[in-house]
Amino acid sequence: MERAESFRSENPFFIRKMQPSYIESRIMVPISFITEDEEDEHDRVTLWTSESRPWLVDFYRNNSSWQINLTTGWKNFVEDNNLRLGDVCVFEKIKKSGISFRVIIFRDREESSSPRFSDHSIPECKERELENHFSVCLKPKDLYYVLNLPRNFLKNHGIGDSNVILEVGKKSWDVKLDSYSRFTTGWAQFIRDCQLKPGDVCRFELMDKKKIVFEVTFVTCIK
């Protein structure tokens, strides 16, 4: 999953980790990935893992759960590509005829499928140490008084309602982390002092788990 999450592309894409229901029957596509116009024009999507062989898969819109399910043909794809539980697929929408997705498979069993495409928009799967850090791209609302944090990260590290220390260089700020996984008291001061703007990306690296100290680095957005 970490390798899949490091995938970058100019094309829209989504990530799916293989669940039992995915292996056994169907997989869901975010509803925004297939427009109603496309749905009217096409009955099925085309999945590509290489440039040589496509898989045709029927789909239908699930209005109750606001999703699109891939059904007939999906199982063939699973079997042909030997997908197993825990494998992670990146579905990248590409500009081919009809509705086409390029599928990059990140296997749970050490090796990954190496995408065999001629262009260079394929994942930068550098080994990244994600365990101790997360990144946040600041939105206008984040520059107000609160910042929502990834709950999974906090949960994985057993971090709850507490005060944390944000360090930038030799300076540090005390910021309250509330029970809703948000930076609250102190966050506004931090963004003022660091002159952060919408579009800036903050990287929070957990340096001291006991005292909950994050070293913060940021990339400034230049319009």
Partner DNA sequence: TGAGCCCGATGCCCAGCACA
Partner DNA sequence: TGTGCTGGGCATCGGGCTCA
Q: Note whether 156 binds DNA by CB under 7 A.
A: no
133 near DNA, rule: CB under 7 A: no
What tokens were used for 203?
Answer: 């990287």
Among positions 112, 132, 172, 185, the unique one binding DNA when judged by CB under 7 A: 185
Of the candidate spans 57-65, 94-102, 109-117, 210-218, the one that interacts with DNA by CB under 7 A turns out to be: 57-65
The 3-state DSSP class for residue 166 equals: strand
Q: Is residue 84 at the binding interface for DNA, with CB under 7 A as the rule?
A: no
Residue among 45, 164, 166, 181 that touches DNA (CB under 7 A): 181
Contacts of 16 (CB under 8 A, 6+ apart): 22, 27, 28, 88, 89, 91
How far apart are CB 186 and DNA at their closest, in Å?
Answer: 6
Q: Which residue number, 86 or 124, has a Cβ lying nearer to DNA?
A: 86
Number of residues that bind DNA (CB under 7 A): 46
Residue whose CB is less far from DNA, 140 or 169: 140
Verify binding: residue 150, DNA, rule CB under 7 A: yes
Pick the closest to residue 133 from 217, 9, 15 (CA basis): 217
Distance CA 98, CA 38 (A): 8
- Distance of closest approach, residue 129 Cβ to DNA, in angstroms: 21
| CA torsion angle 146 148 151 153 (round to 10) | -90
Fill in the per-residue mask, 93 to 122: x = in contact with DNA (CB under 7 A), - = not in contact.
------------------------------
Amino acid (one-letter) located at 65: S
**Binds DNA (CB under 7 A): choice among 60, 121, 165, 213:** 60
* Interface positions, 12-41, toward DNA (CB under 7 A): 14, 16-17, 19-22, 25-26, 28, 30-32
Q: Residue 85 has which token pair?
A: 């539980």
Would you give the distance in Å from CA 21 to the centre of its chain? 21
Cα distance between residue 29 and residue 59, in whole Å: 9
- Residue 68 is encoded by which pair of tokens? 């699109």
- Sort strands 88-94 and 171-177 into parallel, antiparallel or unpaired: unpaired
Q: How far is CA 59 from the centre of its chain?
A: 23
198 φ/ψ angles, rounded to the nearest 5 degrees = -55, 140
Closest CB to DNA among residues 66, 114:
66
Which residues bind to DNA, rule: CB under 7 A? 14, 16-17, 19-22, 25-26, 28, 30-32, 58, 60, 62-67, 69, 71-75, 139, 141, 145-146, 148, 150-152, 176, 178-181, 184-189
